A = this chain, B = another copy of it.
């Protein structure tokens, strides 16, 4: 290929909040494709909260992102050169090629997708990893019965919005928690939640109590912190809590919980999970989610930043909750 590659590297580890100075934009040669390899032009880069954890050099469920290397991340793109018989030029593919315009692959972690009924970008959101995350936590941990009350935090986000819609389809009463009136309106009007609590309104517990007159049977937690603490006070006997994210603590704040005693009093089950450790559910979940996206029954929103150079700022915005729905970076002309 002619032209150059562009990459965003991790330049330094954040001390607390992520800043633009933690990243560095560099030019690099476009990779040369060897036998069995495929070159992909990335169209979309997925930005996800888990990346914040990788930026630390601390014990976590995954290896830390190396300094001076291309930031990791899920990508959706197009095969532009192939020396692998399983892939042809023009194929649309999902991969983990990171924050760069071009990446190459030996094909093993490349997945061809059908964009005739599901847009390519949706495979990074509702019809992709965030959707499967929602599907797993809801069906395998929260496992609600019809008529039960399910609460979801970060309810307007890529994961939370799918959790709520899937729970509604199961006949649950679904309450979202989100930051700000605009997000709450989307959660109710667009995603069809029964109600949404605005945690920025300053009376989280009172509003949550009013929205859950029969208590809470299941909670899908993306944020931890004060929201988790408020939910613990409202849990019913034998409730289940899926711990998917603790975004409120990712900058290093401690999360002092006052209401942990509810775990005993209400005999709760609290379970943390990482969706990539449950590959056995992916085919079933992706099939179900793809069908719902194709028919328009599963709604989603995207916040799209334009151009690789905007990725650091878009990522900082994601951590601050400035996006609505799935945060993407578009790497081709719009």
Nearest-CB distance from A277 to chain B (Å)?
7
CB-CB under 8 A from A16, the residues of chain B are: none
Residue of B nearest to A244 (CB): B264
Per CB-CB distance, the 7 closest pairs between chain A and chain B, nearest first, are A256-B256, A264-B272, A270-B270, A263-B272, A257-B257, A267-B272, A269-B271
**Interface mask (A90-111 → B, CB under 8 Å = 1, otherwise 0):** 0000000000000000000000
Q: Is the CB of A272 within 8 A of B268?
A: yes
Residue of B nearest to A250 (CB): B261
Q: Is the CB of A267 within 8 A of B277?
A: yes
Q: Is the CB of B273 within 8 A of A270?
A: no
30 A–B contacts, CB within 8 A, in A order: A59-B265, A60-B265, A61-B237, A61-B266, A61-B267, A224-B261, A224-B264, A243-B263, A245-B264, A246-B260, A246-B261, A249-B261, A255-B257, A255-B258, A256-B256, A256-B257, A256-B258, A257-B257, A257-B260, A263-B271, A263-B272, A266-B272, A267-B271, A267-B272, A267-B273, A268-B270, A268-B272, A269-B270, A269-B271, A270-B271
- Interface residue? A206 (CB, 8 A): no
Given the known inter-chain contacts A61-B237, A237-B61, please indicate yes or no for A261 contacting B255, CB distance below 8 A. yes
CB-CB under 8 A from A270, the residues of chain B are: 263, 268-271
Interface residues of A in 120-157 (CB under 8 A from B): none
* CA–CA, A224 and B265, complex, Å: 13
Contacting A274 at CB < 8 Å: which of B228, B246, B267, B271? B267
A: contact size bracket? 20 to 34
Residue of B nearest to A264 (CB): B272
- Could you list which residues of chain A lie within 8 angstroms of chain B, going by C-beta atoms? 59-61, 224, 228, 237, 243-246, 249, 254-258, 260-261, 263-274, 277
Kindly report how many copies of this chain are found in the complex they form together. 2
Residue of B nearest to A258 (CB): B254
CB-CB under 8 A from A244, the residues of chain B are: 264
CB-CB under 8 A from A260, the residues of chain B are: 224, 228, 246, 255, 257, 260
Per DSSP, are chain A's interface residues mostly helix, strand or loop, or mixed?
loop
Other A-B pairs beyond A61-B267, A246-B260, 14, CB < 8 Å: A61-B237, A61-B265, A245-B264, A254-B258, A255-B258, A255-B260, A256-B258, A257-B257, A260-B260, A267-B271, A267-B272, A267-B277, A269-B269, A270-B271
Nearest-CB distance from A235 to chain B (Å)?
10
Residue of B nearest to A256 (CB): B256
CB-CB under 8 A from A269, the residues of chain B are: 269-272
Given the known inter-chain contacts A61-B237, A257-B256, please indicate yes or no for A243 contacting B224, CB distance below 8 A. no
Nearest-CB distance from A315 to chain B (Å)?
20
Nearest-CB distance from A142 to chain B (Å)?
14
* CA–CA, A255 and B257, complex, Å: 7
CB-CB under 8 A from A271, the residues of chain B are: 263, 267-270
* CA–CA, A307 and B228, complex, Å: 47
* CA–CA, A268 and B274, complex, Å: 11
Nearest-CB distance from A233 to chain B (Å)?
10
CB-CB under 8 A from A277, the residues of chain B are: 267
Residue of B nearest to A274 (CB): B267
